[in-house]
Chain A
């Protein structure tokens, strides 16, 4: 099956810093999503981005499908940005199949 690798596994930053999280995947994908898991376990949708670039406030994401990677940018980090960030992909051509998740990047923003 498809492999999803996220880096770095852990990241500790000071408030106000910028960060880049990376997701590499081993095959072409029909769906790529970025999630933030909060301390209560809820998965919050950040981006649906199988290709191209999107921005939402301080967050932006870019997926280069031909080179099989996606990047999540967080600017001017706040302590509320702390948590685990997951990249997940669906390789199937038909869509609406299950996602394969990476192991996540654990981000800690210190005041």
Chain B
């Protein structure tokens, strides 16, 4: 059953701690993405990766870091430098180099930092 999985669904952390959110896909997609959603708002792009071992900053990369060591995995670390980390985080993936770049999303992780 192909898809995108994110874990955990809910995550609670104390201020000052780094936390890593998991994203795995078995769709054989080359490109993967991380977005952040705040209440009542649209999604904003944090980082994206078009191929393994390469990634690009999105619109709001400050305070976040990523790695792309495997095609299937694109973990996101929310560092203590991120000033407002509490949000809903969504991971997505897509093909590249074809006629369609349709993105598909995982179920998301709700992070609460107190």
Residues of A within 8 A of B (CB): 1, 4, 30-31, 33, 35, 40-43, 45, 48, 86, 88, 90, 95-104
Contact = CB atoms under 8 A, between A and B. Distances in A.
Contacts of B100: 48
B96 interface: yes
A103 B41 contact: yes
Given A1-B59, A48-B102, A99 B107 contact: no
A43 B105 contact: yes
Nearest to A31: B101
A96 B56 CA distance: 12
B58 A98 contact: yes
B78 interface: no
B44 A101 contact: yes
